[in-house]
Amino acid sequence: MIDPDQLLGVASGLVEQAESNEQIEVACGHGVSTSVRVYGGEVESFTNAESHGVGIRVIRDGREGFASAGTLDSAVLAQTLADARDNATYAEPDPEAGIAEPDGVEAVEIDHWHDDVITMSPQDKIDIAVELERQVLAGDDRISGVRVSSYGDSASGFALASSAGIRASSRGTSASTSVQALADDGDRTQTGGAYDGARRPRDLDVGWVADRAVSRAVDLIGASKPTSRKVSLVLDPHLAATVVGLISGTLTGDRIIKKRSPFVDRVGETIATPALTVIDDPTDPESFGADSFDGEGLACRPNPLIVDGKLTGYLYDAYHGRRAGSGSTGSAVRGTRGLPGPGIQALSVAAGDGGSLDELIAGVDEGVLVFSLAGLHSGVNAVSGDFSVGVEGRRIVDGQLAEPIGECTVGSTLQRLLLDVTAVGSDRTHLPNGVSTPSLVVGDVMLSGAST
């Protein structure tokens, strides 16, 4: 069983060994996870794993040392602390180096723990993946197979203690299922993927995942390269989350201080359509990214990033907050194997008045309902904002879905994407990746395909 109090006891015991001229921060973690892959109604792989971890940070005379280990064995813990102290002697002095200090913000209690993840039998977990595959194969005669059907879950605990007096702990569970459906398309095979996540297995919607994967694959049969033109992109919440997440990832303090973001020194400026409001809000209990504490033990809090189109701030951990002169925004993210850094925790896009996805489609004269975006890692430059990725989906003509398209790209910049959002849906959805967003329509995007 995951016991955060026990983890906190281990972390606190190490912190009590701090010497008078040093700061110590200790993060401890314990997790169990299950992973199932099914093919042809049979188990292709089944993994049940348990892990422990500790990460110790020592700061002395502005020099920071870090060491980690994959066990909570007392002898190893003692050696890890010694290693962190030793590593600090080789570090360059940094006047801003230091652990987080309590800032008086009260934590919101978040409880995302469900025993089901621990008590559910392995066979019942396997059956979820088997049933998902069965429903996909039975969903349409044009489905030729399933590349993979999977189930996964995790239960984890985390605790942090520091010589600044911070004591924080939490635990949570999650479960997910995903599938890739294959549809015959002459000499080609079209793929449709879908997934769902929940805090416990029983809340997974296997039927929805199967239907989405089947429709995504079948709807791409006969896809052709479209002619190049300016279009509006219609993004359902899953695709909107991807795009908004890319943009918000450029608003973290490390990128801002290094001037590796197109939004440096732009607080107070209009960077998006007035219909767009984006907040990183880990205090929202409905979000899959919700938590009581950040990766340095400070209370999580709502951090507005874009309000009515205006940039209102950035996300900082303690170190980058000191460098910026603003302090931490309670936005440190980390595991036990690495140092904390600023990051998005529970991104939230406010719902608009654009209506449902179908209503957004009906309002588009020339566009594309996007099924997938390919090449996000190589096609997006987070420094300049340049954006060019592969796209496939269905054309929209006069508010109606038309033929499927593929083998094309869309190009713009992250800056223009924000300004070119023409409609924000009312269908705000909490997604398993921690992002909560409605559907979006982005206008005036260049679709590059066949020459006219």
Other Cβ atoms less than 10 A from the Cβ of 386: the count is 15
- pLDDT tens-digit map of 371-415: 999 988 778 899 999 989 999 999 999 999 999 999 999 999 999
Q: Does residue 147 sit in the same domain as residue 254?
A: no
Q: Does residue 442 sit in the same domain as residue 334?
A: yes
Please determine, for residue 208, whether its predicted confidence score (pLDDT) is greater than 70.
Answer: yes
Mean pLDDT of 341-351: 97
Please determine, for residue 452, whether its predicted confidence score (pLDDT) is greater than 80.
Answer: no
Q: Indicate the pLDDT class of residue 10, thresholds 50, 70 and 90.
A: very high
In the chain, the percentage of residues whose pLDDT exceeds 90 is 95
Three-state SS for 360?
helix
Q: Does residue 68 sit in the same domain as residue 156?
A: yes
In this predicted structure, what is the pLDDT of residue 312?
98
In the chain, the percentage of residues whose pLDDT exceeds 70 is 100
Q: How far is CA 407 from CA 189, 223, 268, in A?
A: 14, 9, 39
Angle at 8 between CA 4 and CA 10, to 5 degrees: 120
CA 37, 42, 44, 49 torsion: positive or negative? Answer: positive
Q: Which amino acid is at 142?
A: R
Q: Does residue 365 sit in the same domain as residue 401?
A: yes
What's the CATH code of the domain at 122?
Answer: 3.30.2290.10
Q: Is the pTM of this model over 0.85?
A: yes
Q: Does residue 413 sit in the same domain as residue 307?
A: yes
In this predicted structure, what is the pLDDT of residue 188?
87
Mean pLDDT of 260-289: 97
In this predicted structure, what is the pLDDT of residue 383?
93
Q: Which of 176, 197, 218 is the last residue of a domain?
A: 218
As for how many domains the chain has, the answer is 2
Domain span at 450: 223-452
Q: Which of 197, 218, 239 is the last residue of a domain?
A: 218
Mean pLDDT of 417-425: 97
Mean pLDDT of 245-273: 96
Q: Does residue 195 sit in the same domain as residue 231?
A: no
Q: Does residue 174 sit in the same domain as residue 308?
A: no
Q: Does residue 142 sit in the same domain as residue 191?
A: yes
Please determine, for residue 97, whether its predicted confidence score (pLDDT) is greater than 90.
Answer: yes
Q: Does residue 303 sit in the same domain as residue 416?
A: yes
Mean residue pLDDT of the chain comes to 96
Mean pLDDT of 253-270: 97
In this predicted structure, what is the pLDDT of residue 1?
76
Q: Does residue 233 sit in the same domain as residue 121?
A: no
Give residues with Cβ within 8 angstroms of 16, minimum separation 6: none
Q: Does residue 273 sit in the same domain as residue 402?
A: yes
In this predicted structure, what is the pLDDT of residue 156?
96
- pLDDT tens-digit map of 125-184: 999 999 999 999 999 999 999 999 999 999 999 999 999 999 999 999 999 999 999 998
Q: Which of 166, 199, 218 is the last residue of a domain?
A: 218
